[in-house]
């Protein structure tokens, strides 16, 4: 203030544009406990650990059925793969049947402790994970156990657990009635060409699936009423499974499968009648049996439940002596769904 006149007004210096940085690092500010909003630009505290986003659970391996076998006496063995360190829960017709433990590799084996009673069974599979989650399987097993002291044989199929789709016969009984014309696999060592139709199935959208056996890596062509509808190649075991390239409306058709050589010549042929029924249960009044059909899958398609196969059996007792033995070409009457109680 020296050098100013005694009556000069004192002036206050203005504040600097920015305060110098503090040599001591500031602590992270805490959120006010009185509800005040922190000043704009102030650093915000990290959210508590409980509110942070948790990672999604790791995907699990699907349940896989590698082997399925049931004896005529009802002894069941199932083996497959799936999630590691899980409990595989198996149900039969909706009731618990048993469990199997998967190891670190995910492999598991179930061996029944007692035989199944004669009848038809739909097995479903689910994996209970260590964290408590239950993952249902996509594949169901359909079994037929014959009556005791009979000459009938057991049968097993794999099919989609939900909805309709191609079924796969994994244990077929020895043929008791030939197809028309008769077609059987030649004995081992016989190199003659051959082809067999084993399963004809369809879904509600009119997609048709045909599967069977022929020579390993054999080429097959499929015809409906003489028109080409699909072509495919069998696997190294001689199994083919082909979806037709056209949707098939309801009706009855002549289904033909030709095995052809590399030059395109037909060297073997199998034929059968094929009925693509209506999908609305009240509209279906009859069904023509095709290769691979059984009362359980017909009932599941028509009534939505395989266990209602007894309704079809009761309505056709004059043709069916044993519900486990039906033959291609038979025509069965189907009671309307509205008539079932």
For the stretch 303-315, pLDDT in tens is 767 777 778 888 8
- Residue identified by tokens 């009362």 is 295
3-state secondary structure of 277: coil
Q: Which residue has the higher pLDDT, 11 or 80?
A: 80
pLDDT of residue 89: 95
User: Taking the CB of residue 52, how many other CB atoms lie within 10 A of it?
Assistant: 8
228 band by pLDDT with thresholds 50, 70 and 90: very high
Question: What is the percent of the chain with per-residue pLDDT over 70, rounded to a whole number?
Answer: 67
Report which listed range, 18-32, 295-309, 310-324, is most confident.
310-324
3-state secondary structure of 283: helix
Paired sense of beta strands 219-224 and 251-260, if any: antiparallel
For the stretch 91-140, pLDDT in tens is 998 899 999 999 888 889 898 888 999 888 889 999 999 989 999 998 88
39 band by pLDDT with thresholds 50, 70 and 90: low
For the stretch 170-197, pLDDT in tens is 776 544 333 334 455 666 666 778 898 8
The token pair that represents 59 in the structure block? 């995907």
pLDDT of residue 128: 94
pLDDT of residue 186: 63
pLDDT of residue 124: 92
Residue ranges and CATH numbers for the domains of the chain are 64-162 (2.60.40.10), 176-272 (2.60.40.10), 277-341 (3.10.350.10)
3-state secondary structure of 255: strand
């Amino acid at each position: 203030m020296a050098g100013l006149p005694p009556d000069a007004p004192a002036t206050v210096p203005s504040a600097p544009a920015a305060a110098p940085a503090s040599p001591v690092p500031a602590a992270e500010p805490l959120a006010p406990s009185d509800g005040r909003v922190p000043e704009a630009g102030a650093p915000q505290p990290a959210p508590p650990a409980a509110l942070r986003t948790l990672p999604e659970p790791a995907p699990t391996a699907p349940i896989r059925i590698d082997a399925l076998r049931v004896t005529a006496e009802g002894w069941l063995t199932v083996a497959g793969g799936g999630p590691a360190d899980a409990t595989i829960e198996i149900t039969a017709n909706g009731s618990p049947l048993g469990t199997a433990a998967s190891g670190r590799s995910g492999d598991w084996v179930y061996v029944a402790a007692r035989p199944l009673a004669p009848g038809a069974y739909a097995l479903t599979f689910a994996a209970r994970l260590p964290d408590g989650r239950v993952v249902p399987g996509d594949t169901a097993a359909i079994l037929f156990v014959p009556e005791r002291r009979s000459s009938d044989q057991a049968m097993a199929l794999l099919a989609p657990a939900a909805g309709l789709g191609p079924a796969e016969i994994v244990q077929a009984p020895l043929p008791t009635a030939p197809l028309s014309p008769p077609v059987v696999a030649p004995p081992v060592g016989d190199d003659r060409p051959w082809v067999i139709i084993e399963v004809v199935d369809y879904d509600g959208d009119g997609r048709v699936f045909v599967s069977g056996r022929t020579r390993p890596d054999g080429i097959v062509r499929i015809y409906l009423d003489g028109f080409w509808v699909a072509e495919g190649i069998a696997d190294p075991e001689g199994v083919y499974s082909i979806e037709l390239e056209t949707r098939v409306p309801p009706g009855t058709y002549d289904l033909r499968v030709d095995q052809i050589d590399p030059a395109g010549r037909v060297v073997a042929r199998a034929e059968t009648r094929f009925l693509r029924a209506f999908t609305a249960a009240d509209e279906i009044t009859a069904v023509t049996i095709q290769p691979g059909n059984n009362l359980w899958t017909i009932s599941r398609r028509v009534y939505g439940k395989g266990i209602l196969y007894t309704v079809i059996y009761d309505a056709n007792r004059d043709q069916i002596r044993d519900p486990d033995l039906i033959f291609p070409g038979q025509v069965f009457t189907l009671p309307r769904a509205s008539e079932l109680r």
